[in-house]
Structure 1
């Protein structure tokens, strides 16, 4: 079909509706490194102005840390700009395996697999490990990437009221006939900022023989006694089956994500995780920067204390 004026008008009308609803998004162009104080051009075309930055996910201020930048620069010099391949063909360097091992140690799990982003990790994990015989029971306020990932899976979908443990228990009772019952939650809910009642969730999971999935993107690096995340904060490290998180927030702020957890589940992601199988690997420069970030936050909690 030709892109006719009628088709153009359809999209123009939809954009107008977005504007009328007050939901139209405009980019703020930053003309400096990510920091607590930045130079911004907004609206686009206006004069640049210096402002205090209170809206980035650079929670520990590591995205422009000199040691992280230097590690990334060395990675560029020694490992190249990109891999031009998916992981399982010729896109895995030794530093990718090293980062996966470091993340496994940091998160207190059995194994880890890198993805291009945490959105990709959440988009790929459910489809890779669940079937029609299983059910996903998610908090109603989970992140959009989890919602999309659930849509791609063949397992039955269900939800429970936000942080309502009585409602979650009802759903677990309802689905006792399923092969796998997977409880799905954020660690910190991105729109509201509250933490999941992860200790209570784990208690219910163990009572009803369910598995637990948690997205720690907004908590990895600074929540918990040593910054391991909500599972450390709630005292349930080692009792979570699947953790996803990102390198794009506190852990350096560049790109990349991961699935970490039970070794068999991680292996299923290697074999069947479509975003992993059909996307380029995380760039070496990002991997080297992330390794330095983990080194810094593992040695000291100064930036979060």
Structure 2
């Protein structure tokens, strides 16, 4: 039953562009679905393939089983590593257990892993900017046995004690706030002026593009709704960014979580989605906001993403 529109409720929706799935997420989901088609259920996936409840539940319904400990996977099974990447120890354990492995690590995360491994062989230590406990951070830090120091904020930079500073490099989690990472990076450079930086920043193109779109969106709306799961780092950063720009912002996993009172007195509703949130969920939120009174939907001008990443050998059609 349609809810009655409220006086002072929304009248228009502005859609951020780009929003939603990135190339790494598309590829990761595709890997699980193709593995299911080719090898049949069950397919085991270490950690959530991407941080989105709807996507994970959809893949579960098709026969994917999500695990954290490789001991839960029967010998000889097909195993997929999540888009966030895994440590060397997890890779080695999977090989020892004889699993048929497909690696869905985002190629932009793999780029960071390759750089860390290369520089470690040259005797470098590392400062990593990222969120403690995030699987991507654990995977990157797990590329080396020692000599990688995590900093989460500017205050942490002052407490880092590398064994030496002649060979010191910095890497970042790919889904951070661009502005926060730049602030922390400036503090790292101030303390370690000769630190080696990546040739290109580690924060991925999709994270950058979605944050830039929210900056534009926030100028034109009264409230921002971000479609994304609570575990999604890049979705959380979008909501935080809107708030920093002075606009109320809320994150929803599904349209059912959207509360009518958030939109009271908010004529213009901005809507975006994290890189792991499917467009289907965005469309359901649009329908919900329309049910609360909105009559127009407009898409912002924005970057059109054309990046595509190839699938692993053995899964290509």
Higher relative contact order (CA 8 A, sep 6+): 2
The answer to whether the superposition gives a TM-score over 0.5 is no
Q: TM-score by structure 2 length?
A: 0.29
